Copies of this chain bind each other. A is one copy, B any other.
Amino acid sequence: MTRIKFQQSLEDLKENLLVMAGLAEQAIQRAIEAYRTRDLSICDLVSRSEIAINRMERDVDQTALDLLAMEQPMATDLRFILSVIKINADLERVGDSAKSISDRVRQMEQLPSAELPVDIPRMATLASDMVRKSLQSFIDANAELARSVLTMDDAVDAMNRTAYKTLTKVMEEQPHLAPQALNALMISRNLERVADHATNIAEDVIFWVQGADVRHHKSVMAREKSQQAAPSSSSAD
């Protein structure tokens, strides 16, 4: 393969990953639309997306593997291809979260509707923004933008912790609403997970662009801080 052809193959790989990203983003948006409207036909769309996403994941992986095997790329190209493989896995898991959310919506639909003290759409908007920004940072090879995604993760974590507290209170005080509250809690949990995947993607972009491994730096710093304070029990995992 000539150098120009190889560069073209890398561009094609990037394009395929962006198609994959589009499917994953759409799946999350649809799942939240289903939550807002309780429209089960949208849940069916999400289930179908998941199948398409899984197929696309295999295609992207295979293409990346072929490029590694045939071209034996070095340095930045190698890091780029490895990043694609990792981002691909995270996008597939975003698709899984969308499917989990839509499964929850199906269950909620069978229960009496209830006003719950949790703003799922707002949390979903934030998590989706993170996915979109992390992908934009990938498209632009922009480590600065990728870094901004890492800081957004704290806000989603905080929202998830708040949801956990308020929904536990609902369960204690209005036990007949426990199933609904639990479904909402699981949806919140899935959105927090989507934000984690966006964070992973942003870290992979930084790894690719700068060659620096930023993983766990934040969590290590957080732990050092929390070890100075009281033992942390803030996780809502």
Show the binding face of A for B, using Cβ within 8 Å: 40, 43-44, 47, 51, 54-55, 57-58, 61-62, 65, 68-69, 72, 74-75, 78-79, 82, 85-86, 89, 96-97, 99-100, 103-104, 106-107, 110, 168, 171-173, 175-176, 178-179, 182, 185-186, 190, 213, 215-216, 219-220, 223, 231-235, 237
Set of chain B residues within 8 Å of A57, measured between Cβ atoms: 215-216
B68, A78: Cβ atoms under 8 Å? yes
B215, A54: Cβ atoms under 8 Å? yes
Set of chain B residues within 8 Å of A44, measured between Cβ atoms: 231
A78, B65: Cβ atoms under 8 Å? yes
Majority secondary structure of chain A interface residues (helix, strand, loop or mixed): helix
Also in contact, A178 and B186, with CB within 8 A (given A47-B223, A106-B233, A220-B51): no
Also in contact, A82 and B79, with CB within 8 A (given A51-B220, A171-B178, A219-B54): no
Set of chain B residues within 8 Å of A40, measured between Cβ atoms: 231
Contacts A68-B68, A72-B72, A168-B179 known; list 7 others, CB within 8 Å.
A54-B215, A54-B216, A58-B213, A68-B78, A103-B232, A168-B178, A168-B182
